[in-house]
Amino acid sequence: MGIISRGFHGRRPPEGTHLPPGQYETTGFPVLSAGPTPRVRQSEWELTVTTETGQRHAWDWAAFMALPSENPTVDLHCVTKWSKFGTEWSGVSLDVLLENVETAAEYALVTSYGGYTTNLPLEDLLDGKAWIAYGYEGEDLAPEHGGPARLLVPHLYLWKSAKWVRGIELAHSDTPGFWESAGYHDYGDPWREQRYQGD
């Protein structure tokens, strides 16, 4: 018997809270990964965006850091039921990265150093909803939290915010990523408790 029953949604949060259902608040920042932590030097790091036609856009660390950056403060919600409020990041909006990318794609498959993947609708990466983050609370992003750079999509469960990001593949059809292929929800909205397929 599993530790977590799919039918159990936990207690409802108190009225007026900004805690999604089934979540609890933590002041720490738990480290959860699907495998070993890749150690990628900034000098070796590259981010690519590949369109559905095969057009490739690439940024090395210097080119990436030359892009306009933002300092979003966001809440994080992990599928393992912890939430952390008011986290402070530095990063480049996906709106900036995709500004000159011509595409008619509707989906993105995000790839990471170390082999991790996750899928998202492209619209969830645009309109100020997502960043490639390189800093956390005024410091360089630590490897255990996805450094040198990670995807940050705070309105979805945290497994969608791929650590050690290296590429974004745009496509007309949806391709499940690592956890999605193992039974996790394709979308992952914490407010709808979309933890597993069928939720």
Q: What is the pLDDT of residues 72-84, one digit of tens each?
A: 999 999 999 999 9
pLDDT at 49 over 50: yes
Residue 113's pLDDT band (boundaries 50, 70, 90)? Answer: very high
CA 177 to chain CA centroid, Å, is 12
Burial 110-128 (b: 16+ CB within 10 A, else e): bbbbbebbbbbebebbeee
Nearest 10 degrees: Cα torsion 19, 147, 162, 128 = 70
Mean pLDDT of the chain: 91
Q: Which residues contact 9 (CB under 8 A, 6 or more apart)?
A: 21, 22, 193
Mean per-residue pLDDT for 157-180?
97
pLDDT band (50, 70, 90) for residue 29: confident
Q: How far is CA 65 from the centre of its chain?
A: 19
Q: Using omega within 30 degrees of 0 as the cis cutoff, is the peptide bond preceding 21 cis? A: no
Per domain, the residue ranges of the chain are: 43-192
What is the pLDDT, as a whole number, of residue 36?
79
Residue 13: the pLDDT is 44
Of the pLDDT bands very low, low, confident and very high (cuts 50, 70, 90), residue 19 is: very high
Residue 123, SS3 per DSSP: helix
Query: What pLDDT sits at residue 18?
Result: 82
CATH assignment of 43-192, among 3.30.1540.10, 3.90.420.10, 3.40.50.300, 3.30.559.30: 3.90.420.10
**Residue 33 near residue 150 (C-beta atoms within 8 A):** no
Q: What percent of the chain has pLDDT over 90?
A: 83
**Mean pLDDT calculated for residue range 56-78:** 97
Residue among 6, 19, 10, 49 at smallest CA distance from 191? 19
**With 90 as the cut, is the pLDDT of residue 59 above it?**
yes
The token pair at 148 is 């040198």
